[in-house]
């Protein structure tokens, strides 16, 4: 029994010795194995200085630079109609005329009355110089002349309303009435749009209000033209925000001499808020730890070192580096999960 216990004790002691030896020699063998094994394959990239463009996207609607509906000012027949649908007209071009016989007759009548009253006024003035007439008669005749002048101005204005002309240069829309038709006051005859410049109206979140300035560049695309980009600038910013959506309406102006853009189009707007040169790295290179940001930088011997960096602005896929790295430094962007400081790497995706 004593011999059995003695053998058991020896077995336990030998096992303990082997275990202690394993704990002592295994780390060394592991380190030797790591040094002798192949380097960790990772993708790297250089820190570079390039344009950092910060922008926001929004959906907008195309609006004509100037746009009106040409309507009939009164109830009457259309005697002339000069509408070439979709054609350009200059300011002052006659679009339509209404029946104006009565208005022209009224103007002619008042012009005759005015001439007669002016002759009488001139005669009274001559008599007044020789004390042959009373001043009250002279004043009364002057009042008649002034009254007739006012009536003539009104008649001429009414006659002018019978001719509907283009108030600005633009493109006529579809003809909505026919020559000879009787129209009521307010009846739309056609539309007129100035398309030389297209405005785009879009909404921007309140968060960006302080960043938006008149004159900022913007880019517009539309599904009708695929990837073709149209360039313009911010022309106006609304003074009020929508209290429900907390957004502000912004207008941009786009040159449109080729008339490819039309009012009512759904436009994809890209507004450029900032464009400056900055030192940048891929966002994938960042290793966040608590409130700090780190990267794995690579030295000349392909050994990585965990380096703390200070970051600035972010744009999709990229981040600005304010401190911690220099231009041209190499950092790991893929395979970070396999690394720790001091590990040798093999750059496979530089």
Mean pLDDT in residue range 300-328: 88
Domain end residue (candidates: 243, 275, 307): 275
Query: Quick one: pLDDT at residue 26?
Result: 52
Whether 112 and 141 map to the same domain: the answer is yes
Concatenated DSSP letters of 273-321: EEEEEEEEEEGGG-EEETTEEEEEEE-TTSBEEEEEEEEEEEETTEEEE
Whether 217 and 271 map to the same domain: the answer is yes
Q: Is the pTM value of this prediction over 0.75?
A: no
Rounded CA-CA distance 248/214 in Å is 13
Whether 245 and 208 map to the same domain: the answer is yes
Q: Is residue 181 part of a domain?
A: no
Rounded CA-CA distance 209/344 in Å is 48
Give me the domain span that covers residue 214.
Answer: 198-275
Mean pLDDT in the chain? 86
pLDDT in tens, 193-230: 999 999 999 999 998 998 899 999 999 999 999 889 99
Whether 296 and 262 map to the same domain: the answer is no
Query: Quick one: pLDDT at residue 54?
Result: 80
Whether 260 and 295 map to the same domain: the answer is no
Query: Quick one: pLDDT at residue 80?
Result: 92
Instruction: Please name the residues in contact with 255: beta carbons below 8 A apart, sequence gap of 6 or more.
Output: 196, 197, 232
Domain end residue (candidates: 247, 275, 303): 275
Average the pLDDT over each of 1-5, 145-149, 307-311, 324-328 and give the range with the smallest value.
1-5
Backbone angles phi, psi at 113, to 5 degrees: -60, -40
Mean pLDDT in residue range 295-303: 88
Query: Quick one: pLDDT at residue 25?
Result: 53
Q: Is the pLDDT of residue 52 over 90?
A: no
Rounded CA-CA distance 206/266 in Å is 22
**SS3 (DSSP) at 130:** coil
Mean pLDDT in residue range 64-85: 93
Instruction: Please name the residues in contact with 25: beta carbons below 8 A apart, sequence gap of 6 or more.
Output: none
Q: Is residue 331 part of a domain?
A: yes
Exposed e or buried b per residue across 97-128, where buried means at least 16 C-beta atoms within 10 angstroms of its C-beta: bbebeebeebbeebeebbeebeeebeebeeee
pLDDT in tens, 116-137: 998 988 888 877 776 656 777 8
Mean pLDDT in residue range 290-306: 89
Does 295 or 53 have the greater pLDDT score? 295
Q: Is the pLDDT of residue 161 over 80?
A: yes
Rounded CA-CA distance 220/230 in Å is 5
Domain end residue (candidates: 256, 275, 294): 275
Closest CA relative to residue 273, chosen from 215, 197, 200 = 215
Mean pLDDT in residue range 301-330: 88
Beta bridge partners of 55: 272
Q: Is the pLDDT of residue 34 over 80?
A: no
Q: Indicate which CATH number applies to the domain containing 155.
A: 1.10.287
Backbone angles phi, psi at 44, to 5 degrees: -130, 165
Q: Is residue 25 part of a domain?
A: no
Whether 317 and 307 map to the same domain: the answer is yes
Rounded CA-CA distance 184/192 in Å is 20
Domain count, the chain: 3
């Amino acid at each position: 029994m004593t011999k059995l216990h003695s053998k058991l004790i020896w077995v336990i002691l030998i096992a303990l010795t082997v275990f202690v030896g394993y704990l002592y020699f295994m780390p060394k063998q592991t380190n030797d194995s790591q040094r002798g094994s192949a380097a960790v394959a990772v993708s790297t990239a250089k820190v570079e200085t390039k344009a950092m463009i910060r922008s926001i996207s929004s959906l907008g609607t195309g609006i004509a630079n100037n746009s009106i509906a040409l309507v009939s000012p009164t109830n009457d027949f259309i005697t002339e109609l000069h509408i070439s649908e979709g054609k350009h007209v200059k300011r002052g071009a006659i679009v339509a005329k209404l029946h104006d016989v009565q208005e022209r007759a009224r103007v002619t009548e008042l012009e005759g009355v005015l001439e007669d009253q002016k002759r009488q006024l001139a005669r009274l003035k001559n008599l007044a110089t020789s004390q042959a007439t009373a001043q009250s008669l002279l004043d009364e005749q002057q009042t008649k002349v002034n009254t007739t002048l006012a009536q003539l101005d009104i008649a001429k204005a009414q006659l002018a309303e019978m001719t509907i002309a283009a108030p600005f240069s633009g493109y006529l829309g579809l003809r909505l009435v026919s020559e000879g038709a009787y129209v009521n006051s307010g009846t739309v005859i056609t539309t007129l749009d100035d398309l030389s410049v297209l405005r785009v109206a879009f909404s921007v979140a309140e968060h960006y209000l302080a960043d938006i300035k008149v004159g900022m560049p913007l880019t517009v695309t539309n599904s009708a033209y695929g990837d073709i980009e149209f360039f313009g600038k911010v022309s106006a910013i609304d003074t009020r925000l929508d209290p429900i959506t907390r957004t502000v309406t912004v207008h941009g102006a786009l040159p449109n001499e080729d008339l490819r853009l039309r009012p009512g189009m759904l436009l994809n707007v890209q507004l450029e808020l900032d464009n400056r040169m900055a030192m940048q790295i891929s966002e994938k290179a960042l290793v966040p730890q608590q409130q700090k940001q780190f990267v794995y930088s690579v030295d000349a011997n392909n050994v990585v070192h965990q380096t703390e960096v200070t970051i600035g602005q972010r744009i999709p896929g990229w981040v600005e580096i304010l401190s911690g790295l220099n231009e041209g430094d190499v950092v790991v962007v893929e395979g970070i999960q396999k690394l720790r400081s001091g590990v040798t790497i093999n750059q496979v995706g530089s």
